[in-house]
Amino acid sequence: MLYLVPTPIGNREDITQRSLRILGEVDLILAEDTRTSRPLMKHYGIETNMRSYHAHNEHAIVEQLVAEMGEGGNFALITDAGTPGISDPGFLLVRACQQAGVTVSCLPGPAAFVPALAASGIPCDRFHFDGFLPTKKGRQTRLIYLSELPNTFAVYESPHRIVKLLGQLIEFCGADRQACVAREITKLHEEITTDSLEALKAHYEAKPSIKGEIVVVVAGK
């Protein structure tokens, strides 16, 4: 069996009791980066063996992992933060497990865009999630598509590209479109700011050294 186990996106308390139990009971934890995940495991006294599973090795090892589970192994997949498969490795292994008849179970838990949407003050009864936009080829095409959506959309962005993204959103969506920039969600320096795209761009131009994964939520057309 394969368990997809969400891990905290910041605050270590944001992990369920069931997730901790599963991580302690499985035969192996597949971790996106064992160095990142080890402090969390140590904090909760989990001593289960870990093995690296990430975007650079998944194609090479997925068949072996499925074979091991097919022989009776119970594995848990975790990523550095959040829910496996949501802008993180997971899809390839899940699909291979399903094709091989290995049961897959996903535990509920954190995903950064969910609290960003809920706290944005922008309608989120219907929304589109686009993850990380292409950095070069195809980026403009995606921005044009997103700008025409009637519903709210959310994307991920890195700190060093946030001002550039806000500028591009102004170009395609208009300076007055309402948006929210959420960063360091659940952490000590959490910042969730809702304003026009123009005001948000000015805000972050004045803060050139920010850190943390960023979620940008933009109102629909």
pLDDT in tens, 53-97: 999 999 999 999 999 999 999 999 999 999 999 999 999 999 999
What CATH number should be reported for the domain holding residue 15? Answer: 3.40.1010.10
Residues of the domain holding 128: 113-218
Question: For residue 47, which amino acid is it?
Answer: E
As a whole number of angstroms, the longest Cα–Cα distance in the chain is 57
75 lies in the same domain as 126: no
Q: Which of 19, 173, 220, 183 is nearest to 3 (CA)?
A: 19
Contacts of 51 (CB under 8 A, 6+ apart): 28, 29, 30, 31, 34
Q: What is the mean pLDDT of residues 4-14?
A: 96
Residue 45: half-sphere exposure toward Cβ, Cα within 13 Å? 2
pLDDT in tens, 187-212: 999 999 999 999 999 999 998 789 88
pLDDT in tens, 95-122: 999 999 999 999 999 999 999 999 999 9
C-alpha distances in Å from residue 180, one per residue of 9, 45, 191, 217: 18, 37, 10, 5
48 lies in the same domain as 144: no
Q: Which of 56, 91, 106 is a domain's end point? A: 106
What CATH number should be reported for the domain holding residue 168? Answer: 3.30.950.10
CA distance 80 to 84: 9
Q: Give the pLDDT score at 80.
A: 96
Q: Which of 74, 87, 83 is nearest to 14 (CA)?
A: 83
Q: Which of 81, 106, 131 is a domain's end point? A: 106
CA distance 194 to 187: 18
CA distance 49 to 26: 9
State the pTM of this model. Answer: 0.93
Q: How many domains does the chain fold into?
A: 2
Q: Which of 90, 106, 122 is a domain's end point? A: 106
CA dihedral (47, 30, 134, 143) positive or negative: negative
Q: Give the pLDDT score at 208.
A: 79
